Chain A
Amino acid sequence: MSLATQTLASLQRRIAAGEIHPRDVVADLATTIEAGNPQLGAYLSWDADRALAEAEKADTTLPLAGLPIGIKDNINVTGQPCTCGSKMLAENYTAPYDAGAIVRLRSGGAVPFGRLNMDEFAMGSTTENSALGLTRNPRDPQRVPGGSSGGSAAAVAGNLALAALGSDTGGSIRQPAALCGCVGLKPTYGRVSRFGLVAFASSLDQIGPLTKTVEDAALLLNHLCGKDGRDSTSLDAAVPDFTTAIGRDIKGLRIGLPREYFIDGLHAGVSASVKAAVDRLAALGAELVEVSLPHTDVGVATYYIVAPAEASANLARFDGIRYGHRSDDATDLMEHYFKSRAEGFGPEVKRRILLGTYVLSSGYYDAYYLKAQRARTLIRRDFEQAFEKVDVLVSPTSPAPAHKLGELKDNPLAAYLEDVFTIPANLAGLPAISVPCNPVEVDGVSLPIGLQIIGKPLDELTVLRAADAFERG
């Protein structure tokens, strides 16, 4: 059996014991990807020779001991492509530096290996917005893997990666993790440097791990967090050893159930699975408390003003001059901008740039952007009040299991509404994890469901502790 089915923790032990060398792991993984990726489409590219060379000289005394980690294709790794799933960066961009998170990962001993598919510029929740290829759900090839970190989740759940990095702006780590059946953690905003993560919405974006187990998420998080002088929003907060959260009990832990998250519109299978998960948490000794987050109903609307507004500003950098696609058909500078951007960006990115430009345009700023910023305050306060009574909150990660390919393609609003449970943690900057709960049977196929656990700012330890206890049952 391929080593790619193993956890980071188990391979770490085998490497430490001298049973295997990281080069064996990378070589095994390269063969596995070669065989499995044509069907799954999780990776856009991978450079096995480079990873083998890095694994060969890896310091096996470091915690991550030369283990290969898949990287979402919007995180810069020196000398590798960084396409963001876009034609804009597919032709001629090679990353000139390592992202802050990659610097940390390397100093923990890991080897970045492979570039994982994603919705273009991380805009989407199915990975169908990638301009560069289709990624399938490893549990049912007729279904989407979720998104935008769909390649990362499909690779980890489909055993084409031990673990991967993703980015989460409105649920883009947690939702694909839920739909593919792996663990996905979005840290507190500012925990992980955004330097070298291609910016989508700067006040919401956060890099985090997708893994096979909660323990692996803790292990990887240890080597992602910390202040980075190159990201002025990164937090100067102490980084605990997150693996101390593993193997503990949750007796007396106060778990909040937000009544606005357990609604009628929920898919029956999701509802049943999450109810069973809540019962399991109670059986493990947690104290269940019903809480209210009264502004949940405006989360999606708030997000779809704030995120496109920030995106329209961030994506203004793609001018076809310094890097990225350049049109051959322009005769003057204005035409050069218009054509380079029209040719380089896909439909969802254009839609969000237009929406963001509109809500920031003269005369509409107060009606949309300022209003959304005010609603964001109320959403944040909802959480502050709930966390006076409880230690963590639990909810479904996504209101439905994985959709069929193409099902949401022509209905952007319906796709946006799927983010309802994941968006609030981004707006409030909170850490949140998705951990697999009971799968549901749909059309004769067993589809994964995710349980979301949301924590207080900087309290990833309690989030991981609850998720690990739940996972172990």
Chain B
Amino acid sequence: MDAKLLNPFIQAAVEVLKAEVDANVSRGEISMQKSSLTSDDITVLINLIGDVYGVVMYGMHKNTCLNLVSKIMGQDFIELNSLAQSGMAELGNVISGRATIRFSETGYKSNISTPTVLTGNGVEISTLDFPRIVVPLDTQFGILTVHLALRTKTPGETYNPEEFIPLINVPPSQNVF
């Protein structure tokens, strides 16, 4: 994975956390991981599709999530109900959206998917052959860890449907590609 994809996300995360919850963010040590990610209490998963493609995950402890959501929504959350999950998903959405705007400024256009929220720690999330860059962001609310498993295509390169079928052969009559 290209390190130039990293900065837009970190900048976006710092800006959004500053604006939404007035957080003082300090960046932890960046690491590159090839193994699958063992999920934290809450993981917000957002896919990118386009010139920059792959998956971004925001992992955090339950308390961090509750602190952040309580601050954003202006009411105290004591359990991780659907409203709290929705708030956290929205935070991931805003950070990813802002990062993709920065990508598009450099010519890489991509879209983000709707967020998916995974709760429950200890399951493994595999990004297959995409290595992940892991950046912990330390705030006064707790640590938010950003996992990036992204790749780039040449900007404007047309979409190549052949990417779909390396393993499974669909017979010609059903071959809709």
Q: Do A and B bind each other?
A: no
Residues of B within 8 A of A (CB): none
Residues of A within 8 A of B (CB): none
